[in-house]
Amino acid sequence: AGSFRADVWCAGSAPTGACCDQFAGTCTEGVEVGNCIGRWVEGGTCDPETFFPPCGTHACCNRAIFNPNVIICQNLTTEECDQTNDGFTTLGKFCDEVECPDAQYFGYEGDCLSEHPTPGCQNPFCTAAVCDLSVDPLCCGTDFGWDAFCVQQALTLCSEFENNALCATSKTITGTGFFGFDNTNAGTDGPTHPTCGAADGAIIKDVWFNWTATCNNRVHVSTCEQTFVDTKIAVYEGTTCPPTTADLVACNDDRCGLQTLALFDAVQGQQYLIRIGSAPGQGAGPGQFRLTCGPPTNPACPGSGGCCGGTGTPGCSDATCCRTVCACDPFCCDTEWDSACGTIGFEETGCGAAVLCLDSCAQGCPPGPVAGFEPPSGVVDARRPFDEETGTILQGIDHVSIIAPDGAEADCFAFCETDTEGSDNDIASVSDMAGLHAVEFLRPITPGAATTVTYENVLGGTTTLVYISHPGNVNGNGSADSDDALALVGFLSEIGTVPWGLFSADIDGSGTVTSLDLWELMNLLNGARSGMAWDGTGRPSPIGICP
């Protein structure tokens, strides 16, 4: 058994829409579905300002049948072009706006934005622009390669890159609406972020846009249903290049199938960098993204029935929530607001009200991936637990960074320690920075104890992260003993590694690892200064005491 979705009509005439002739480049309105040769869109219009996708989404350049030295342009989708072409690159242009380059500029290899020893580059449009006699014919000469000058010319002259393949040359966009992108030949110059989905948060082949907010509102940046590329989106406050995780205000991957929707609260007049790229291991290509202040309008919003469950009809009663969800999953407004629309989205995509409409649905613990980031879950903190001077003030882990769904509140996290030395410990505060949550404790975790932080989402799912303070246990195994001294000596001699970096090796808490840490380790194992000999003690475990 399984689930499916389908568009059906039960009585009367078939719906009519816009019929696009992919070869002639013409568009006819009012054609019944099934009677169109080409591509058909219900309720569409031939006006290119409002019809999306337009008649023909790409320029597909092929050799002419009558003469293989002539290249002709056809309006085809990516799939159609792949089925008909002979190795040429499909580009995100319309055929009524561009002519294909001469045949001599096809067939080159190499990234247009990277130096390589061979002439030309794999994008024939860009090769033609750079290698025209009025620019630099040497970039295509048989005795020359594609050098740094050719790369700079590509950035300047090739509209395929829109001068935005690098953060430092981000393209300025204004207002709201649809904006084109093409990351076919883009490199990667942005950082990775732990909250940006799988593959360690990496975004590859990125292109950049600089946008000044025109509103104080929740902004939607979406590639949903607007490209074949498996996109990832990150948004940063400010225009510093390269941006850092501290600048990150939104990041998302695969919210609507292989495409995505990123949301952030904009401040009017503030500049933002919008970064669009591909998921690691996936291809690149052309497409469009839509930027709106607030969710896009939808004729089904508001509908009838609450947003936080299935209504059985298109849309729901809260107009803002309705439009937000339907921008991510049109099925919820085109066909039916089902239980997936009211919870976490179809096939748990995150396109549901429980994730996107926290204010409306009053659910502050959305479902999603949870992981310890700094330090990671399972860390064993071998550093001394008390200050050197008085030996009474607790030291060690007093805050952690946790990847959790954006919007998760402090009461979503629960705290537990297997033992308490001194004052009670608990979570003091939780701050959310685009899904990276800084969790502060009342004091450092108890030495010789296991500490857990558990996240429980609205659907009852839980994730428990474990942090252990076991002074002297450098190798992180089952006990603290003389083997830990050997492990630290090996680390100081650059032979082998300890499992948790500074948590395992910076015994005196100085911020660097030196021979003094070995001295302090011997003090810990023998009980000097700490008041307790840690040699022979077992590694704490939360099992049976904490969740």
Q: What is the pLDDT of residue 428?
A: 94
Nearest partner of 501 among 420, 401, 381, judged by Cα: 381
Query: Does 269 have pLDDT greater than 90?
Result: yes
Tokens 């067939």 -> residue: 107
Query: Does 23 have pLDDT greater than 70?
Result: no
Task: Give the rounded percent of residues in the chain with a pLDDT score beyond 70.
Answer: 86
Q: Are 492 and 506 in contact (CB under 8 A)?
A: no
Residue 533 burial class via C-beta count within 10 angstroms: exposed 0-12, middle 13-18, buried 19 and up: middle
- Bridge partners, residue 440, by sequence: 399, 429
pLDDT mean over 175-202: 80
- Bridge partners, residue 96, by sequence: none
Nearest partner of 157 among 188, 129, 128, judged by Cα: 129
Among 110-124, 134-148, 382-396, 495-509, where is mean pLDDT lowest? Answer: 134-148
Cα distance from N-terminal residue to C-terminal residue, the chain = 35
Q: Tell me the average pLDDT of the chain.
A: 83
Please give the residue that has the higher pLDDT: either 33 or 507.
507
3-class state of residue 205 by DSSP: strand
Integer CA distances (angstroms), 248 to 413, 430, 510, in order: 23, 18, 30
Q: Alpha-carbon distance 525 to 511, whole Å?
A: 21
Report the DSSP pairing between strands 218-222 and 261-265.
antiparallel
Q: Are 537 and 525 in contact (CB under 8 A)?
A: no
In sequence order, which residues have a C-beta less than 8 Å from that of residue 464 and are 6 or more positions away?
Answer: 452, 453, 454, 455, 542, 546, 547
Q: What is the pLDDT of residue 432?
A: 82
Report the DSSP pairing between strands 261-265 and 399-403.
unpaired
Query: Residue 380's pLDDT band (boundaries 50, 70, 90)?
Result: very high
* Positive or negative: CA dihedral 46, 48, 50, 55: positive
* Positive or negative: CA dihedral 529, 531, 535, 541: negative
Q: What is the pLDDT of residue 274?
A: 96
Q: Alpha-carbon distance 40 to 55, whole Å?
A: 9
Tokens 């003094």 -> residue: 516
SS3 string, 141-203, reads CCCCCECHHHHHHHHHHCHHHCCCCCHHHCEEECCCEEEEEECCCCCCCCCCCCCCCCHHHCC
Q: What is the pLDDT of residue 7?
A: 40
3-class state of residue 376 by DSSP: coil
Token digits for 493?
């001699």
Q: Are 127 and 140 in contact (CB under 8 A)?
A: yes
How many helices and strands, by DSSP H and E, does the chain display? Answer: 11, 22
Q: Are 285 and 78 in contact (CB under 8 A)?
A: yes
Q: What is the pLDDT of residue 444?
A: 95
DSSP string, 457-484: -TTS-EEEEEEEE-TT-TT-SSB-SHHH
Among 58-62, 68-72, 82-86, 269-273, where is mean pLDDT lowest? Answer: 82-86
Residue 479 burial class via C-beta count within 10 angstroms: exposed 0-12, middle 13-18, buried 19 and up: middle
Q: Alpha-carbon distance 33 to 40, whole Å?
A: 7
Query: Residue 2's pLDDT band (boundaries 50, 70, 90)?
Result: very low
Q: What is the pLDDT of residue 79?
A: 66
Token digits for 329?
């999953």
Q: What is the pLDDT of residue 85?
A: 67
Query: Does 68 have pLDDT greater than 90?
Result: no
Q: Alpha-carbon distance 245 to 242, whole Å?
A: 10
Query: Does 155 have pLDDT greater than 90?
Result: no
Nearest partner of 448 among 399, 380, 527, judged by Cα: 380
**H-helix or E-strand spanning residue 339:** helix 339-342
Looking at residue 133, the DSSP 8-state letter turns out to be T
Q: What is the pLDDT of residue 10?
A: 44
Q: What is the pLDDT of residue 22?
A: 54
Query: Does 308 have pLDDT greater than 50?
Result: yes
Query: Residue 56's pLDDT band (boundaries 50, 70, 90)?
Result: low
Q: For the stretch 296-318, what's the b/e string if a residue is b when 16 or more beta carbons lie within 10 angstroms of its beta carbon?
A: bebebbbbebbbbbbbeebbbbb
* Positive or negative: CA dihedral 302, 303, 304, 309: negative
Q: What is the pLDDT of residue 4?
A: 44
Q: Are 487 and 496 in contact (CB under 8 A)?
A: yes
In sequence order, which residues have a C-beta less than 8 Å from that of residue 3 and are 6 or more positions away?
Answer: none
